[in-house]
Chain A
Amino acid sequence: MTKRTGGDMEELVRIVSAADGEIVGRTRLQKTAFLLELAGLGSGYEFKYKHYGPFSEELASAVDLAPLLFDFREDQRRSGWGGTYSVFTSSAAYEGAEEDAYKQLVSLAKRANPIALELAATAAYLASVGDDDPWGETERRKPEKAAGGKLEQAKALYKKFKELQLPEALPDI
């Protein structure tokens, strides 16, 4: 019974345009939108924990509908390991200031290693719902992804997100 409004979809276009017109992966898009939300820069998407960490049903629905009304495109690519992932593109110009907090956060998420981003967003989510040991819990839930130095990479990435001047401070973890 959720209403899908144009506003939901415009937010997607804004994210992709802030990423200079391309963002790779549904997981990356979800985690970027989550961090924007946490930083007080989002448009009100509600996130719950799912297999890949914080996930918004509304955002997933908006992804399916946005190409119908907006300059927003999703293409599928085959990965080397046999899976499939999405590439989102838009030629819409970014309407904010060139180096504003929104664009900086999105740019950092765009450049991040996808697994480190997933781990960092998951730890931030766990902290936001009151978990006492977000990094430990992230490692417990995602042992394969956290292995091989990826958890440390995620912590370093999160530190970079924390260094940004954001309207709302990300949780201290």
Chain B
Amino acid sequence: MALGPKGRPQRIRDPLHDLIEFDTGRFEQMLWQVIQSPPFQRLRRVRQLGFSEYVYPGATHTRFGHSLGVFFNARRLMRNVRRHLGRDSFDEYRSDAALAAALLHDVGHGPFSHSFEAIGKSLNLKYAKHEDVSDEIIRNTEVAEILNGYIPGMAAQVADIIGAKTPADVYSSVVSSQFDADRLDYMQRDRMMTGTQHSEIDLTWLIANLELDAVPFGVEEERVGEVETFVLSSKAIYAAETYVVGLFQLYPTVYFHKATRSAEKVFFHLFERVFRLTQEGQADLVGLSKANPVIAFAESPDSLQNALRLDDSVIWGSLAELTESKDGIIAQLAAMLRERRLPKSIDLRTAVSKELGEGVPTELVDKAVLLSRNALDEWCDDQGAEVPPIWVDTTQRVPYKEFQEDIGPLNQILIRHNGGLVDLKEVSPIVKSISPFKLDRAYIPFEDESAGTRIREVVIEKAKEAKGE
């Protein structure tokens, strides 16, 4: 797709960043075309926080707005890179590719991302994982034509950056690092739209103190070389501390809220069943028309076009029909989701801790929780029910996320201190003291006394087992 030398300047009003402007240069005009493309416009119909709206009614913002915000932040960060590297060393092509990657990083998200991906995993659906869908959209749809029309090969470069298939450098740090444009947008946007008043950060000060430095990296004892990445000046220690603590606190309060996770579980079991019955040739039981994108996707999950027809509006729009399903479980789960009749949770960690008594080491609690979870899973399997009578939910959040292999510059927050660079943990006792937030809950979806009894029995039994009694 050829682009003229100049286009019209474009502006979008954003609740977080105010005015997001696109200039008349070829690059930003090209991005404007990407934004107009159907795969990108689809993001208007995918909420950023899925079911969080059931807890925070204001949290109806979309991945469309978030993606624009990530681009805005990335451009801001890239200006820092340009300033530090100087005009002669700054690589315009890599910068453009990273900025386009920032804009497109979420383009493959399906409805209720996390839960939809879990269904995909359970049923082995090719296009349920957002990374795979993003990759395909960027390489093989109209988005690719627009990117390659700007510079041939740009689509592959952008897809490679998002898939971490390029060498780590300062340009890719804008898209993926501890201070990437994504995190800096979502934590502020989610805070604003949920209405929660904690987790405020001093972004202006953080960015003003963001510098570049060459930092050694390696594998085990072997040093490989140096990678240029973001580091913070010593004046930003407290701003960085607030950033880490603020981001961390959003997990228990927003992302891992028990009602949100409960709705996700209902969604998972509902649509896993819808897809499964359809794939088993029982679509007539489900209650949706053949033209419904959910049925089309279930029947041909290897079609990208079918995956792209799914979004939150399709899911919400299908619920009324699903409540009339001939399959009793589908009808029941659809009604629960539609009317926000969500299963209540039992906090296994609290229950186990109570059983173990005060002052026991964390490892003992962890062990009793793990034993309880495994026992409940086994019990559920033994029941042979169509939908498990207990839904166990477990996850955790550590203060620094990502790059789960050996620790180096890309998964640290490096601060200038006494003439060297140290990880934030070494100069912030607050950050150092943060323990992972661990979530272990059991939900009882349907009225079932035996399930509640079983949970109580398991907790008592496994607390004893953990203590060696």
Contact = CB atoms under 8 A, between A and B. Distances in A.
Q: Do A and B make up one complex? A: yes
Interface of A: 1-6, 24-28, 30, 48-52, 55, 57, 60, 64-65, 68-69, 79-86, 113-115, 118, 141-145
A51 B164 contact: yes
Contacts of B160: 141
Contact of B218 (A2, A24, A57, A83): A83
Interface stretch (B204-212, B219-227, B295-303): B219-227
B425 to A, nearest CB: 11
A142 B221 contact: no
A5 to B, nearest CB: 7
A2 B114 CA distance: 12
17 contacts: A1-B115, A1-B121, A4-B370, A4-B374, A25-B220, A26-B404, A51-B403, A52-B405, A55-B405, A57-B404, A68-B363, A69-B367, A69-B371, A82-B216, A83-B408, A144-B167, A144-B225
Contacts of A51: 164, 168, 403, 405, 410
Contact of B223 (A50, A64, A81): A81
Chain A interface main SS type = mixed
Nearest to A30: B405
A86 B222 contact: no
A85 B223 CA distance: 12
B406 A25 contact: yes
Given A26-B405, A51-B405, A81-B216, A113 B163 contact: no
Contacts of B403: 51
A65 B404 CA distance: 14
B434 interface: no
A134 B329 CA distance: 47
A84 B405 contact: no
Of B219, B227, B370, B393, the most chain A CB neighbours within 10 A belong to: B219
Nearest to A85: B406
B407 interface: yes
Interface string B104-140: 0000000000010010011000000001000000000
B218 A81 contact: yes
Given A4-B373, A27-B220, A68-B367, 8 more contacts: A1-B268, A65-B366, A79-B220, A79-B221, A82-B216, A114-B220, A115-B219, A115-B224
A69 B367 CA distance: 7
Of B165, B405, B409, the most chain A CB neighbours within 10 A belong to: B405
B160 to A, nearest CB: 8
Chain B contact patch, size range: 35 or more
Interface in B194-216: 215-216
Given A141-B165, A141-B166, A113 B222 contact: yes
Contacts of A115: 219, 222, 224
Contacts of B164: 49-51
Contacts of A84: 406-407
A49 B163 contact: yes
B224 A27 contact: no
B217 interface: yes
A6 B219 contact: no
A143 B168 CA distance: 10
A145 B226 CA distance: 11
Contacts of B222: 81, 113-115
A27 B405 contact: yes
A79 B217 CA distance: 10
Interface string B374-405: 10010000000000000011101000000111
B165 A118 contact: no
Of A27, A81, A84, A144, the most chain B CB neighbours within 10 A belong to: A81
Contacts of B363: 68
Nearest to B215: A82
A151 to B, nearest CB: 13
Given A51-B168, A83-B406, A2 B121 contact: yes
A145 B175 CA distance: 22
Contacts of A145: 219, 224
A55 B167 CA distance: 17
A60 B370 contact: no
**9 closest cross-chain pairs (CB), A and B:** A81-B223, A84-B407, A1-B118, A83-B408, A85-B406, A114-B219, A68-B367, A144-B225, A81-B216
Interface in B401-434: 403-410
A114 B410 CA distance: 18
Of B121, B215, B404, B410, the most chain A CB neighbours within 10 A belong to: B404
A3 B377 contact: yes
